[in-house]
């Protein structure tokens, strides 16, 4: 008897109750399979629904974030423009020392990234160009001069402010990151103005003398502007936390020590001393007609005015240097105590 006949015999010998139980088990297995299939479809639909809701929520947050960025940027551009009008020193041939007018753009770059910062700086450059439209009347009506002035003196010069957030991931302390960013963008903006001064403003002289003139002239206002900017960046960096979604006071444990306050005070004194001397001397040494520097103009300064300039500048510089020396001593003691 072969195997097939044996299996057939076994099937025939199955009792009727056994066959019924087998059929019932098959139906139960089939029902269980259908149930699992239905549950799987429900789970798939639920997962798809949750995914769609997550995408919608993400898009909603993205739109809200963009609105917040645009609002903050518009506010900071306005503040920067107003600060740029509060001039401590107004140079006769363009350029000025302001109340840290570049800092609002640097803060935007620090909060929202350098890409967004560059766009904000570009928009701020357009605002500055609008405020300085009269400057276009002083240059030849030629395409090359106009383009150089627009790009170097405005759009590019202020777009580089968006790089002020470069040190956010490199420095743990916010005040340090903002201060280094302030130095970086000041140097970059200075370079842009030097190019514009050499190619457009320096009597349209593209010689070596014209370049040296541009380097010297733009340094007279960009140096004190940078010093003021760094002091303001350190102060605000210790006062407010710009890293979150909203502004909040900087936690005490993340603030710089008292020596940092001395650094800010020292910087403020030094900046004031230099600015006071520049304001009261520079107007006498530059010829208003030719723009050339003439040392003979110093003869027009009266003795009493010389005395005030020297006394105030020396006192401020000495006070700043003294604070720096005291800060250095305090930091040494703090390090010794930690050891």
Residue 135: inside a domain = yes
Do 231 and 282 fall within a single domain? no
Give kind and range of the element (H or E) at residue 249: strand 248-249
Q: Give a yes or no: residue 31 inside a domain.
A: no
State yes or no: pLDDT of 101 exceeds 60: yes
Residues 318 and 324: their CA atoms lie apart, in Å, by: 10
pTM of the model: 0.66
Contact between 185 and 160 under an 8 Å Cβ cutoff? The reply is yes
| Of 57 and 305, the one with more pLDDT | 305
Domain-ending residue, one of 251, 271, 290: 251
112 falls within a domain: yes
223 and 183 co-located in one domain: yes
Look at residue 2 and tell me whether its pLDDT is greater than 90: no
Please count the other Cβ atoms lying within 10 Å of the Cβ belonging to residue 149. Answer: 21
DSSP state of 255: S
Within a domain: 187: yes
CB 316, CB 303: distance < 8 Å: no
**Widest CA span of the chain, in angstroms?**
137
- H or E element at residue 90: strand 87-90
**Distance from C-alpha of 255 to C-alpha of 270, rounded to nearest angstrom:** 23
Is 29 inside a domain boundary? Answer: no
Domain boundary among 218, 251, 284: 251
| In 139-247, beta strands by DSSP E | 240-241
Question: Which pLDDT belongs to residue 121?
Answer: 96
Under 8 Å between Cβ of 120 and 77: yes
**What is the number of domains present in the chain?**
2
DSSP string, 52-99: HHHHHHHHHHHHHHHHHHHHHHHHHHHHHHHHHHSEEEE-TTS-EEES
Domain that holds residue 333: 257-339
Tokens of 121: 């700086």
Distance CA 152, CA 197 (A): 9
Does the pLDDT value for residue 27 go beyond 90? no
Are residues 179 and 96 both part of a single domain? Answer: yes
Same domain, 119 and 222: yes
d(CA 138, CA 117): 31
Q: Are residues 224 and 77 in the same domain?
A: yes
Q: Is residue 178 part of a domain?
A: yes
| Range scoring the smallest mean pLDDT among 44-58, 68-82, 190-204 | 44-58
pLDDT band of 42, cuts 50, 70, 90: confident
Distance (Å) of CA 219 to CA 214, 222, 295: 8, 5, 18
What does the pLDDT look like over 128-145, one tens digit per residue?
999 888 877 777 777 877
Give just the sign of the alpha carbon dihedral 183, 117, 155, 271. negative
Question: Does 26 reside within a domain?
Answer: no
Q: Do 166 and 282 belong to one domain?
A: no
> Does residue 119 surpass a pLDDT of 80?
yes
Does residue 247 lie in a domain region? yes
Verify that 306 and 198 share a domain, yes or no. Answer: no
Around 225, how many Cα atoms within 13 Å sit in the side-chain half-sphere?
25
Q: Which of 10-14, 90-94, 182-186 has the highest mean pLDDT?
A: 182-186
- The answer on 336 and 189 residing in a single domain is no
Q: Apex CA 26: angle with CA 22 and CA 29, to 5°?
A: 135
Is 18's pLDDT higher than 70? no
Structure tokens at 207: 């010689």
Q: What is the pLDDT of residues 248-262, one digit of tens each?
A: 877 766 666 555 666
Q: How far apart are the first and last CA of the chain?
A: 97
CATH of residue 121: 1.10.1760.20
Is there a single domain that holds both residue 295 and residue 247?
no
């Amino acid at each position: 008897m072969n195997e097939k006949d044996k299996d057939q015999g076994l099937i025939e010998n199955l009792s009727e109750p056994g066959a019924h139980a087998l059929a019932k088990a098959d139906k139960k297995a089939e029902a269980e399979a259908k149930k699992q299939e239905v549950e799987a479809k429900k789970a798939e639909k639920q997962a798809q629904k949750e995914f769609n809701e997550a995408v919608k929520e993400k898009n909603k947050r993205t739109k809200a974030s963009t609105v917040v960025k645009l609002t903050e940027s518009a506010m900071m551009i306005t503040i920067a423009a107003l600060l740029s009008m509060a001039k401590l020193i107004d140079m006769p041939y363009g350029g000025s020392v302001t109340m840290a007018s570049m800092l609002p753009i640097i803060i935007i770059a620090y909060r929202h990234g350098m890409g967004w910062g560059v766009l904000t700086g570009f928009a701020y450059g357009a605002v500055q160009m609008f405020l300085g439209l009269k400057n276009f009347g002083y240059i030849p009506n030629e395409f090359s001069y106009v383009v150089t002035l627009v790009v170097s003196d405005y759009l590019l010069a202020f777009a580089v402010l968006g790089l002020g957030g470069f040190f956010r991931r490199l420095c743990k302390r916010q005040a340090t990151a903002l201060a280094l960013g302030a130095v970086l963008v000041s140097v970059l903006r200075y370079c842009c103005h030097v190019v514009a001064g050499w190619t457009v403003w320096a009597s349209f002289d593209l010689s070596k003398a014209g370049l040296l003139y541009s380097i010297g002239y733009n340094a007279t206002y960009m140096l004190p502007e940078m010093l003021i900017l760094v002091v303001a960046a350190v102060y605000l960096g210790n006062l407010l936390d710009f890293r979150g979604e909203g502004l909040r006071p900087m936690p005490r444990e993340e603030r710089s020590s008292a020596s940092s306050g001395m650094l800010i005070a020292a910087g403020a004194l030094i900046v004031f001393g230099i600015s006071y001397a520049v304001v009261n001397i520079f107007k006498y040494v530059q010829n208003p007609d030719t723009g050339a520097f003439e040392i003979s103009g110093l003869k027009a300064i009266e003795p009493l005015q010389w005395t005030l300039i020297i006394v105030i500048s020396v006192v401020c510089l000495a006070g700043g240097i003294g604070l720096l020396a005291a800060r250095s001593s305090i930091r040494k003691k703090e390090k010794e105590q930690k050891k």
